[in-house]
Amino acid sequence: MRRVFIFIIISMAAVFGAAAMMNSSDGKAKFELKIPLGLDAQLQYIPADNPLTAEKIELGRMLYFDKRLSADNSVACATCHNPQFGFTDGMPVSTGIKGQTGGRSAPTVINRLFSDAQFWDGRAESLEAQALGPIQNPIEMGSTLDAVVKKLNAIKMRFRNRQRPDWRSSRVSA
């Protein structure tokens, strides 16, 4: 499940930034990010065992905008990290499920791939760890990883482990 949510974060760089399609030695299309001027490509962190592919970018895009990741189907990642507002919500404090307000504004998610500390206070040590937080936070998205896995598995083929060649027949797992 952690890998599914890292796709959400990493794919934003490719979805809304520059990316080049390349074929890897196994014939699968992978993404190579084109790093904007002023950023050091050596500082980005993409796990070696989890390279970017076109399928993962597509999965991340779908999940990022899907409100079904929240307990009541009302909040998506893009609700608080809206592309129209610089990937934040432009509010002094963010609003989650059931109209609950948090204690902080949503930080931008632009260039998060270049930081080893996530959230305003740095409490998550990686994007993988960060991506799980809002989904499980009772104010933000108010769900559980088990509930999200169950929802994704119930959606006919749409989110089925798209990073695998046989994704149409696979199941999502945590």
Q: In this predicted structure, what is the pLDDT of residue 78?
A: 96
Q: In this predicted structure, what is the pLDDT of residue 1?
A: 53
Q: What are phi and psi for residue 97, nearest 5 degrees?
A: -65, 155
What are the extents of the domains in the chain? 2-167
Q: In this predicted structure, what is the pLDDT of residue 55?
A: 82
124 - beta bridge partners? 118
140 is catalytic: yes
**Domain 2-167 classification at class level:** mainly alpha
Q: In this predicted structure, what is the pLDDT of residue 99?
A: 96
pLDDT per residue, tens digit, the chain (174 aa), is 555 555 455 544 444 444 444 555 555 566 777 888 888 888 888 877 778 787 888 888 889 999 999 999 999 999 999 999 999 999 999 999 999 999 999 999 888 888 778 888 888 877 878 888 999 999 999 999 999 999 988 886 555 555 455 545 556 665
Record the tokens describing residue 107, joined without a space: 């930080």
Q: In this predicted structure, what is the pLDDT of residue 134?
A: 94
In which region does residue 122 sit, left (phi positive, over 0), alpha (psi from -120 to 50) or beta (all else)?
A: left
pTM for the model: 0.74
Q: Which of 32, 125, 128, 140 is catalytic?
A: 140
Q: In this predicted structure, what is the pLDDT of residue 87?
A: 95
Q: In this predicted structure, what is the pLDDT of residue 16?
A: 46
